[in-house]
Amino acid sequence: MNKIKFIIGAIIILVLVVYGRSLFTGAFIYPTQEPVYSCNPDLWGHVFNSSRLKIINDCTSVTGTVVSSFEVNDGDQHIQLFPDKQYLKLLNKNNIELQLGSLVIEPICSHDPTITNNSTVLDAGIGLADGEIDNASIDACKGYAINVYIPKVGEHVRVTGAYVLDTLHDWMEIHPVSKIEIIKKAEWGYIINFSKIKSII
């Protein structure tokens, strides 16, 4: 009887020691699962000229570092995201050659499309001349208030949205974007290692 009590007591002590260590070291880990993400299908009702986008995956998530961000005059934000190693496969030839090895991220209606002083080199590519306003882009943003965070250059983020082929430019995008989360704030002097993408060229 004493032997049984001793064994039970030893087991209890062992469990308490392991659990106690977990509080300080984080060694006790529950079974992990893939991150759960979801996309807002209602965003498609506010995408300017959505017919140009061929859906590859209607909802996915990608992590990477922001290398540039600017406004386009259809109301969207054009973000270049250098993907983490496990997501380099999402790039195609035009992402590598025309987007400096970046995945294009486009939160929709990030700014007022009636403002004409935000012309970019991509205006002609979306069917608008420099500074030109298109009523379709204004109509697309009506009734939509953006609640997606616009990241800063250098920030490491997780982006969730539709993975699509922009058939006008023949490059891959996350468009529209349902969510952007900061993983790590920007640091001065960060370096993008473009040699990582050579294996997929």
pLDDT of residue 162: 97
Task: Give DSSP secondary structure letters for 89-118.
Answer: GG--HHHHHHSTT-EEE--TT-S-TT--S-
**Does 8 score more than 50 pLDDT?**
no
Contact status, residue 82 vs residue 192, Cβ threshold 8 Å: yes
CB 101 within 8 A of CB 194: yes
Taking residues 49-70, what's their average pLDDT? 95
pTM comes to 0.71
In the predicted model, what is the mean pLDDT of residues 91-116? 89
> Token pair for residue 11?
């087991």
Q: What is the pLDDT of residues 158-177, one digit of tens each?
A: 999 999 999 999 999 999 99
Answer whether residue 34 shows pLDDT above 90: no
**Average pLDDT, rounded, for the chain:** 76
Torsional class of 30: left (φ above 0), alpha (ψ -120 to 50), beta (otherwise): beta
Q: Per-residue confidence at 42, pLDDT binned at 50, 70, 90? A: very high
Q: How confident is the model at residue 79 (pLDDT cuts 50, 70, 90)?
A: very high
pLDDT for 129-152, tens place per residue? 444 556 677 888 888 888 999 999
Contact predicate 35/63, CB 8 Å: no
Secondary element (H or E) of residue 4: helix 2-25
